[in-house]
Amino acid sequence: MRDIRLIDRAFNPGTLIGPFTQANPGLGGVCTFVGEVRGETDVQALELTHYEPLTLPGMHDLADHAFARFNLMGLLMVHRIGVILPGEPIVVVSAAATHRRDAIDAVDFCMDHLKSAAWFWKREQRGDGWHWIEPREQDFSDRERWEK
């Protein structure tokens, strides 16, 4: 099963993960990552905008790379856009494989690319207004390790 999508409303990751797992009979392991807006002291909201002609096709391309690199049975990648409140999910990536290592590595691979090479722009609303967020150096080095 392959389920790649962008959504513009709040979602419950559990309602996606259960059906995804059931759609991959015979799997040996599922690994799931859910990213949420951090509830740091001054963060009131996170806004994600994107370049529509490239975002979803780019996510499908990333999924193609994950399937080519890892022995996957299925991949779920759902990313939210719009204004998101602290504690709400931003992204869920879940991989199903016959062996756990492929599932774990595929999720890590996808998240490293989504964090540093994706088609999203992020900004946080704090008490003093909106602030753009750039990927950190660690995000780039996390992605680069997959190029070795």
Q: Hey, is 11 helix, strand or coil?
A: coil
Q: What is the pTM of this model?
A: 0.92
Helix 52-69, helix 100-116: angle, nearest 10? 150
C-beta of residue 32 within 8 angstroms of C-beta of residue 93: yes
Q: What would the two tokens of residue 99 be?
A: 């062996």
pLDDT of residue 56: 93
Domains of the chain: 2-147 (3.90.1170.40)
Show the low-confidence residues of the chain (pLDDT under 70).
Answer: none
C-beta of residue 93 within 8 angstroms of C-beta of residue 103: no
Q: Hey, is 26 helix, strand or coil?
A: coil
pLDDT of residue 137: 84
Query: pLDDT, tens digit, for every residue of 57-68?
Result: 999 999 999 999
Q: How does DSSP classify residue 44?
A: -
pLDDT of residue 37: 94
pLDDT of residue 42: 87
